[in-house]
C-alpha cells in the first residue's frame, strides 16, 4: 500500500464518520482514529512488518481466485449443450468491441450465419484495433463477452454451431 492509498483511506474514514478503523494485512497494520471532539486531531499509525516472502506473494491469490471465478461459469453450463458448439477464442489480450465504431451496427448478432474469414469483432491492444476473423463457418449461438470489456488471451468470445 503506497502513501496515496493511505491518504485516500484516511479521507474515506474521516468522511464516513467512523471513530476508528483497523486494517491488518500480511505486510502492514494501519489504525486510523478520528476524534469526536473538534480539538482532537486525526491520528494515524502505520507499522511496517518485515516480510520473509517477496511482496508479489499477496498479489498471487486474487489472480488465482479470479481465474477460478472465470472457470466456474463455464463449468456450471451443461456439458451436453456446449459440446456440440465450436468456441472462438481471443488470440490477444485487449479490449473487446462488437462494433467497428460506436455509431455503426455490431459485426455479428446471435443467430447470424457466418463464413470463414468474416470479421466477428475488434480487439484493441496497445492503441491498435485488430479485426478478429472467424476460422469456421456456422451460426453464432452465443456471444460470451460484453461490449467494451477487457479480454485475456485464449478467453472464449463466441459459441458457433458448425452445422
Q: Where are the domains of the chain?
A: 3-51, 84-161
pLDDT recorded at residue 47: 54
Q: How confident is the model at residue 60 (pLDDT cuts 50, 70, 90)?
A: very low
What is the second-level CATH architecture of the domain 84-161? Beta Barrel (2.40)
Q: Which residues pair with 133 in a beta bridge?
A: 119
Specify the higher pLDDT residue, 118 or 6: 118
CA distances (Å), origin 83, targets 23, 62, 71, 161: 46, 30, 16, 10
Q: Three cell numbers at 8?
A: 485516500
So what's the pLDDT on residue 137?
Answer: 94
Residue 28 pLDDT exceeds 90: no
State the Cα–Cα distance between residues 139 and 37, nearest whole angstrom.
Answer: 68
Q: Please check the confidence at residue 53 and state whether its pLDDT lies above 50.
A: no
The pLDDT value recorded for residue 1 is 63
Q: Give the span between the Cα atoms of 115 and 125, in whole angstroms.
A: 25
| Distance of alpha carbon 155 from alpha carbon 56, whole angstroms | 25
Mean pLDDT of 82-95: 91
Percent of the chain clearing pLDDT 90 (strictly above): 46
C-alpha–C-alpha distance, residues 109 and 162, integer Å: 16
Beta bridge partners of 96: 123, 149
Amino acid at each position: 500500500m503506497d502513501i496515496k492509498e493511505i491518504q485516500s483511506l484516511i479521507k474515506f474514514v474521516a468522511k464516513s464518520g467512523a471513530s476508528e478503523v483497523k486494517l491488518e494485512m500480511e505486510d502492514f497494520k494501519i489504525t486510523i482514529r478520528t476524534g469526536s471532539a473538534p480539538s482532537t486531531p486525526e491520528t494515524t499509525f502505520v507499522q511496517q512488518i518485515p516480510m520473509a516472502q517477496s511482496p508479489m506473494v499477496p498479489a498471487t491469490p486474487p489472480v488465482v481466485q479470479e481465474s477460478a471465478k472465470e472457470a466456474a461459469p463455464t463449468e456450471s453450463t451443461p456439458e451436453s449443450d456446449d459440446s456440440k458448439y465450436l468456441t472462438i477464442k481471443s488470440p490477444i489480450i485487449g479490449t473487446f468491441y462488437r462494433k467497428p465504431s460506436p455509431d455503426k451496427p455490431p459485426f455479428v448478432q446471435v443467430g447470424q450465419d457466418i463464413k470463414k474469414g468474416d470479421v466477428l469483432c475488434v480487439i484493441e491492444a496497445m492503441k491498435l484495433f485488430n479485426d478478429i476473423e472467424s476460422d469456421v463457418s456456422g451460426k453464432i449461438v452465443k456471444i460470451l463477452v460484453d461490449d467494451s470489456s477487457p479480454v485475456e488471451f485464449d478467453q472464449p468470445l463466441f459459441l458457433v454451431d458448425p452445422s
